[in-house]
Amino acid sequence: MAEKLELDLSLVLPEIPDERDACVERLTKLLQAEGLEKVHLVREDGGARLCLHYDPRQFSVSRVRELAQAAGAKIGSRYRHESLRIDGMDCPICATVIEHALTRMDGVLEASVSYAAERLRLEYDGEKIARPTIVRRIQALGYAVLEEGREAGWFAEHRELILSGVAGLLLLAGWLAGLAGAPHALSLGLLLGAYAAGGFYTLRDAWQSVKSRSFDIDTLMIVAAAGAAALGAWEEGALLLFLFSLGHALEHMAMDRARKAIEALAELAPRTAIVQRDGAEIEVRVEALQRGDRVVVKPGQRIPADGQVASGNSAVDQAPITGESMPVDKQPGDKVFAGTVNGEGVLTIEVTKLAQESTLARMVTMVAEAQTQKSPTQRFTDRFERIFVPVVLVGAVLLIVLPPLFGFPFAESFYRAMAVLVAASPCALAIATPSAVLSGIARAARGGVLIKGGAHLENLGVLTAIAFDKTGTLTIGKPEVTDVVAVSGDETRLLTVAAAVESRSGHPLAQAVVTEAKRRGLTWSEAGEVEAVTGKGVRAEFDGKKIAIGNGKLFEGETIPDAVQQQAARLQAEGKTLMLIRMDGQFLGMVALADTPREDVKQVLERLHQTGIRKTIMLTGDNERVGRAIADAVGLDEVKAGLLPEDKVKAMEELAQRYGQVAMVGDGVNDAPAMARATVGIAMGGAGTDVALETADVALMGDDLSRLPFAVALSRASKRIIRQNLWVSLGVVALLVPATLFGWAGIGLAVLIHEGSTVVVVINALRLLAYEDQPSAL
């Protein structure tokens, strides 16, 4: 019979972005080729794990482990993952040019470029191609690869605006020279200079597109400018290239604002830390910190690394990571995160994660990666452009050729064709979605919500129902005393007796009773002769009297007074767990406990309904009575109880059939299969658990459900802005094409409106950076 061995995936393949990466499939095939019976991925015990089935007669446990680690090392050294910062892209088509060029290189397995984020997500086979070769190919296209943390220089950052300004000045000078009657050669020379300055980057991008056998917006502009020159309309051609380059420069500057909102995340962590070593305090770079180091954080300073408080008490502002509006009190043993701000006390923190492993570092990486994942709308507009641009070129050719056959003047026909090329260029359409996605994800990250891509941002906005795990998501995840009911004597005496006996037990229910007694300021002497009765309760002696505390099973065969039975029936109907308490044969009363709802869950659900969520559903492994009690208390619409993890997956499938787009909110561990089946998987507490960060499509960084309505509302706002941008971009094309076709608008007016619409679309998208957590914010 085969045996099984489970290994953490992160140990076998430490560098893969997530468990959906193609390297996981490569690993399973390689291990099965080694003779293992079956290799597959499971989620349990806090993360993704590799499950290996093997014949113990052929392999020992240590040999299986060696095979897995050797295979992982082999794949990790061969298949490389990179996230590169690209400089020099001045339009969305640049991203397509780079993608096309790289994907045709032998050994490049994936190349996805985000113009909005200036990022390239790359996977390549290290045995077939080296990183420097890929970088040289990018540089040959006219772009640069920036090392992380290094910014382009001032000129490099503003070069397009500078050249555009030069083009504008030369155009003005050429036009004035013509008006003043200067020699034609001087006027023409100035206009040629305007052509060169305004068309420099446009010509470069158009040439790269043609070389990659694709036609884009830059191609249309160059053809139109060349056509204007052929007609002798040098001023209009120069104006076209000037306005086109100016529009792109302004668009680029606006997009930089959104990019900097994301890059600002990386600046939250301090560069250095004060470390206690060999009895002294020394300052070291954060990258040099090791696990176990103790760092001193003074009032007002940012915490340099993830860790736990070793000594000191202070309130810490965690808003940069979790989005929490109020500082959180920290004491020894509590977790803290890099980038958060210490309050008025001095904290000594024991480092638990290296700089590159911190929650903040992983947030920055994931947000950067998220920009390279195209949303459904962006994929649609990309497909539309690939068809639309060649159609426009063919239409322009027909417009040049056909009218003269029917006696229409060739020069007029040619001019109109060039004007149509300008009018039909879908610049605004190309940037409409990426700009909104970039701004939306940046705003979400600033609000403590990590959204892992444009698809998830859009999908959040179309949800009709949300399913919640109960324990730890809707509830606080541990029992609390809800009722102390005395039928003989008073509550104080009842709770004192219960706490005296239960203080001798480590059971969660017992600890909850002790916590409640301490909260009320009660004190007690120690109980003796404590005897635990498994599954029933406990017996002990207290103040010389026999005490019995437990559930109904502890008192089977005994007479329980009607008053006690009536109170017990009432509390059990509310889904609560009971402890009956008897002293020397007389029932004193009972203590009721329950896993209580989070404080603000009811308000969260109300806000979700206000944002357009029609149904909220609980999925729980608890019984129907317990689940229904919580659901009624917080205002949930439905309860599905008694579910095993596999049952939750089936429940999600059934909910998807009924409601369409359904999200699943859980802790990212036991709920991972159901979250994977959902339209959007949303994990709680991304700042506290690595698993939540890895498994979910969306992570609420604080263990705080109040961020969920914000995320849904922000997504709906993003959808509205994307829709507005599409209407503007397509509307301008729809109006300008007939206007230029029938001669109502020339090249100059067409390019002015065209570039104006592009800038309007970007500015509209940037409104998301200022989005406030209110239904009427946009």
Catalytic residue among 469, 667, 671, 704: 469
Q: What is the mean pLDDT of residues 139-159?
A: 73
DSSP label at residue 552: G
Return the residue matching tokens 């709802």. 597
Backbone angles phi, psi at 80, to 5 degrees: -105, 145
Band the pLDDT of 616: cuts 50, 70, 90: very high
pLDDT (tens digit per residue) in 650-660: 898 899 999 98
DSSP label at residue 569: H
The contacts of residue 388 (CB under 8 Å, 6+ apart) are: 424, 426
Whether residue 744 has pLDDT greater than 70: yes
Q: The whole model's pTM is what?
A: 0.70
* Helix, strand or coil, per DSSP, at residue 118: coil
Whether residue 206 has pLDDT greater than 90: no
What confidence score (pLDDT) does residue 369 get? 65
Whether residue 713 has pLDDT greater than 90: yes
**Known catalytic membership, residue 293:** no
Vertex 413, ends 409 and 414: CA angle to 5°? 115
- Comparing 468 with 669, the larger pLDDT belongs to 468
Whether residue 346 has pLDDT greater than 60: yes
Backbone angles phi, psi at 519, to 5 degrees: -60, -35
Distances (CA, A) of 196 to 166, 235, 249, 716: 10, 13, 16, 44
- Comparing 27 with 566, the larger pLDDT belongs to 566
Distances (CA, A) of 87 to 32, 97, 134, 219: 43, 14, 15, 21
pLDDT (tens digit per residue) in 90-131: 666 778 788 888 888 888 888 888 776 778 888 888 888 888
Average pLDDT, the chain: 82
Whether residue 725 has pLDDT greater than 80: yes
Half-sphere exposure of 335 (CA within 13 A, CB side): 15
- Separation CA 291–CA 271 (nearest Å): 17
- Separation CA 106–CA 357 (nearest Å): 32
Largest CA distance in the chain: 119
494 forms beta bridges with: none
